[in-house]
Amino acid sequence: MSISPRKQTQQVLVGDVKVGGGAPIVVQSMTNTDTADIASTVQQIIELSMAGSELVRVTVNTEEAAKAVPEIRNQLDQKGFSVPIVGDFHFNGHKLLEKYPACAEALSKFRINPGNVGRGKNRDPQFQQMIEFACRYDKPVRIGVNGGSLDQSVLTRLLDENRKKANPQELPAITREAIVLSALESAAKAQEYGLGKDKIILSCKISNVQELISIYQDISERCDYALHLGLTEAGMGSKGIVSSSAALAVLMQQGIGDTIRISLTPEPGTARTKEVVVAQELLQTMGFRSFTPLVIACPGCGRTTSDYFQRLAQDIQAYLRDQMPIWKNKYHGVEEMEVAVMGCVVNGPGESKNANIGISLPGTGESPVAPVYEDGVKTVTLKGDKIAEEFQVLVEKYIES
């Protein structure tokens, strides 16, 4: 499947970040701290921002959280972090925004889940109130439908309408339609209540890859609102990474999606920033954006004498990523660089020549030398037990030059 042109959507400004309308696909993430704990939340937003998250969402679920938001914004500004904060509201957002105008001011976007804005006859007035706050404070809104908290009134209506023909096989299709309709009808109501189209982003998250693809293909055909992509409850570790990447890659290849979040369940000992790194690597490996020089490394095999070259590849990648906050304003185009670290002479010279700078380490039975290639030309051969350190110095020199 060749890459399709990006779908032209209405552009939305979130703080100073452009979402949609041809702007680069935005990476976002969400904190998992208690928002009322100002110090921990500020610290995590800084970590996410430094890792490359261009928008950070925080839950605003209690009065304490709403009270904390202005101080979180204030401390971030004082520390020089302008990353826009998005408030995630469920159930009581209308009350919190009414009682804490400074919270509304400090946020750059409100996320509203149409399934969680009041039940029955309260639903519409509370949704309307949330939209009126967005209009009053001139904030964009993400209408974020989630399969796990779908507005049951839309689903019930569709089931009633299809009662005669519905059978168990058709139910998933009706659920998908209910998810799409919930987003589209909520967006239409938001516009009716005075919110401009340039203030609306939609998302329709669900945890099944094939259904997510189908839902976003459908909604993308039926509207031109900016779309936020994400597979909800993607899970832990490789399962979360693979399922999110599979779903989002297919959609982005078809030109769908203006901003993405990779929702990973954090594994013990894993940094929250991992989801940002995965989102960036997905966008970069697909050729949509460049964030940091990427290391090309072979998988290793019986020809490698030890895990020496894997460690070298890992160290170099970590070093390049760590340096990016300094380098990105200093060295133009550094994020598009490729560094090859290869385990032996079989594919080593070829891959190293194709990269900006590459090294082919000695495999079993090879002489203990490691040729280095820069821009396709062999420049030096490293020997001895300091190959890793010497190669890192060469990478730094290459970048500086």
Task: Enumerate the known binding-site residues.
Answer: 298, 301, 344, 351
Q: What is 144-211 written as a DSSP string?
A: EEEGGG--HHHHHHHHHHTTTT--GGGHHHHHHHHHHHHHHHHHHHHHHTT--GGGEEEEEE-S-HHH
Q: Which residue's CB atom is positioned nearest to ligand SF4?
A: 343
Q: At what angle do helices 152-161 and 171-192 cross, to 10 degrees?
A: 120
Distances in Å between the Cα of 88 and the Cα atoms of 22, 116, 143, 220, 335 are 25, 11, 11, 23, 32
- Answer yes or no: are the C-beta atoms of 293 and 335 closer than 8 Å: yes
Residue 338 phi/psi, 5-degree rounding, is -125, 135
Q: How far is the CB of 338 from ligand SF4 (least distance, A)?
A: 16
Q: In the structure encoding, which two tokens stand for residue 1, read together?
A: 């499947």
Who contacts 296 (Cβ-Cβ below 8 Å, separation ≥6)?
Answer: 338, 339, 340, 341, 342, 351, 355, 358
Closest distance to ligand SF4 from the beta carbon of 296 (Å): 11
Contacts of 256 by beta carbon, 8 Å cutoff, 6+ apart: 7, 216, 217, 220, 227, 229
Give the residue with the Cβ less far from ligand SF4, 288 or 308: 308
As annotated, the binding site for [4Fe-4S] cluster includes: 298, 301, 344, 351
Question: Which residues in this chain contact ligand SF4 in the complex, by CB under 6 A?
Answer: 298-301, 303-304, 342-344, 346-348, 363
- The least CB distance from residue 367 to ligand SF4, in Å, is 15
Work out how close the CB of 297 gets to ligand SF4 at its nearest, in angstroms, rounded to a whole number.
8
Least separation in angstroms between CB 346 and ligand SF4: 4
Nearer to ligand SF4, 227 or 340 (CB): 340
CB nearer ligand SF4, residue 301 or residue 380:
301
